[in-house]
């Protein structure tokens, strides 16, 4: 029973209390870049969710059955990032073939997902916590959804902001950062949530 509670707490902490963008401040470059239109934000969020969950599972398998057994843990950074980069490029090729429309709205940012700190950050934290396979999958999915939630909220706000005249120095990234800061304050409120 408490294994199930553990899973629920992982999912909730991934999405709300420990949001990858607003609490751990990882994966901010695409977060600031893509969040202009809600439609492309949804696309980007789903792509990141897919990449994070698949890559954290693959990295977990790679770590436990290869790196850990041979005690070459120091190579984990290289192995993980190699897997992530290749996965993103494969996603890029497959997406271009299957749905050019979705690829159109995400085109520029697929390459950025590789350097997205959230993906490698999740892979590393999953290994550090020593979770088992199913927990890893749930963490990856919940962190990806957390990223998507933050991205869609941000896109909604920034679309509204485009209508008002913002003082000249704040136009563009500064106002996005300040908005993200205020959103982070709101998400900080979730940290009171506990599951005992």
Partner 1 sequence: MTRSEFKKTALGGITSNPVFVLVLGMCPTIAKSDNVINAVSLGLCTAAVLILSNVIISLLRKVIPDKVHLPAYIIVIASLVTLVQMIVSSFLPTLNDSIGAFISLITVNCIILGRAEAFAGKNKVLPSFIDGVSMGIGFVLSITLLGAVRQGLTAAFGSGFFDKTMGGFIVLGLMMALFNQIFHIVKQRQKHRAALIERGEP
Partner 2 sequence: MNKSIVNALKSVAVLVCVSVVCVAVLAVCNMYFPKYTPTLDRATAERINAICPTGVTDGEAFDKKYIVMLGSDDHGVDLDKYNKSNKSKKAEILAVYGEPKGENAFSYIIESSSTGRDGDIVILIAYRDAVIVGAAVKKQGESYYNKLPAELFDFLTGKSGDVDLGAEFGKTGATLSLNAINRAVNLSNDFAITYNSAIRNSMTDMASAAETNEKGEAVEL
Partner 3 sequence: MEIFLNVIVPVLIIAVIAAIFAFCLSYLGDKLAVDRDARIDDIERNLAGANCGGCGYAGCSQFAEALFKGEAQLSRCNPTSPENKKNIAKILGMSVGESVATVAVVHCAGGNRAEDKYSYQGFGDCQSAELLAGGSKACDYGCMGLCTCVRACPNNCIAICKDTGASKVDRDECISCGACVAACPKKIIGRIPVTAKVYIACSNTTKGKEVAKVCKVGCIACGKCERVCPKGAIALSNNLAAIDYTKCIGCMKCASECPRHCIQPIGDGVRLLEKIMAAKEKAKEKAKEAANAATEKQKQDDENQ
- Kindly tell me which residue out of 5, 61, 66, 72 binds partner 2, with binding defined by CB under 8 A: 72
- At residue 98, the 3 state secondary structure works out as helix
**Stretch near partner 1 under the rule CB under 8 A, chosen from 38-46, 53-61, 108-116, 148-156:** 108-116
Phi, psi of 14 (to 5 degrees): -65, -40
Q: Are the CB atoms for 117 and 84 separated by under 8 Å?
A: no
Q: Applying CB under 8 A, does 108 fall inside the site for partner 3?
A: yes
- Kindly tell me which residue out of 42, 46, 79, 183 binds partner 3, with binding defined by CB under 8 A: 79
**Stretch near partner 1 under the rule CB under 8 A, chosen from 34-42, 59-67, 144-152, 166-174:** 166-174
Q: Applying CB under 8 A, does 81 fall inside the site for partner 2?
A: no
| One-character DSSP codes across 141-183 | HHHHHHHHHHHHHHHHHHHHHTTS---GGGTTHHHHHHHHHHH
Residue 70 site contact among partner 2, partner 1, partner 3, none (CB < 5 to 8 Å, cut-off depends on kind)? partner 3
What CA–CA distance (Å, rounded) separates 43 from 106?
7
Q: Are the CB atoms for 85 and 114 separated by under 8 Å?
A: yes
- Burial pattern 76-114, b for ≥16 Cβ within 10 A else e, equals beebbbebbbebbeebbeebeeeeeebbebbeebbebbb
Q: Scan residues 132-191 and list those touching partner 2 (CB under 8 A).
A: none
Using the minimum distance from each CB to partner 1, give the nearer residue, 61 or 90: 90
- Kindly tell me which residue out of 8, 66, 82, 90 binds partner 2, with binding defined by CB under 8 A: 82
DSSP 8-state symbol, 27 = S
Q: What does the binding site for partner 1 look like in residue numbers (CB under 8 A)?
A: 22-29, 32, 74-75, 77-78, 81-82, 85-86, 88-89, 111-112, 114-117, 119-121, 124, 167-171, 173-178, 180-182, 184-185, 188
Q: What does the binding site for partner 3 look like in residue numbers (CB under 8 A)?
A: 62, 66, 70, 72, 75, 78-79, 82-83, 86, 89-90, 93-94, 96-97, 100, 104-105, 107-108, 165, 168, 171
């Amino acid at each position: 029973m408490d294994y199930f509670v553990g899973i629920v707490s992982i999912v909730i902490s991934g999405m709300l209390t420990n949001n990858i963008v607003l609490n751990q401040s990882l994966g901010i470059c695409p977060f600031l870049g893509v969040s202009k239109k809600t439609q492309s934000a949804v696309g980007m969020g789903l792509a990141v969710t897919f990449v994070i969950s698949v890559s954290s599972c693959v990295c977990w398998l790679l770590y436990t059955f290869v790196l850990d057994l041979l005690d070459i843990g120091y190579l984990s950074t290289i192995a993980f990032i190699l897997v992530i980069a290749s996965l993103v490029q494969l996603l890029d090729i497959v997406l271009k073939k299957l749905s050019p429309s979705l690829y159109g709205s995400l085109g520029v940012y697929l390459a950025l997902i590789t350097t997205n700190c959230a993906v490698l950050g999740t892979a590393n934290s999953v290994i550090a916590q020593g979770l088992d396979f199913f927990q890893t999958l749930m963490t990856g999915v919940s962190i990806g959804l957390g990223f998507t939630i933050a991205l869609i909220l941000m896109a909604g706000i920034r679309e509204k902001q485009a209508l008002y005249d913002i003082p000249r120095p704040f136009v563009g990234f500064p106002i996005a950062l300040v908005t993200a800061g205020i959103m982070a304050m709101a998400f900080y409120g979730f940290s009171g949530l506990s599951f005992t």
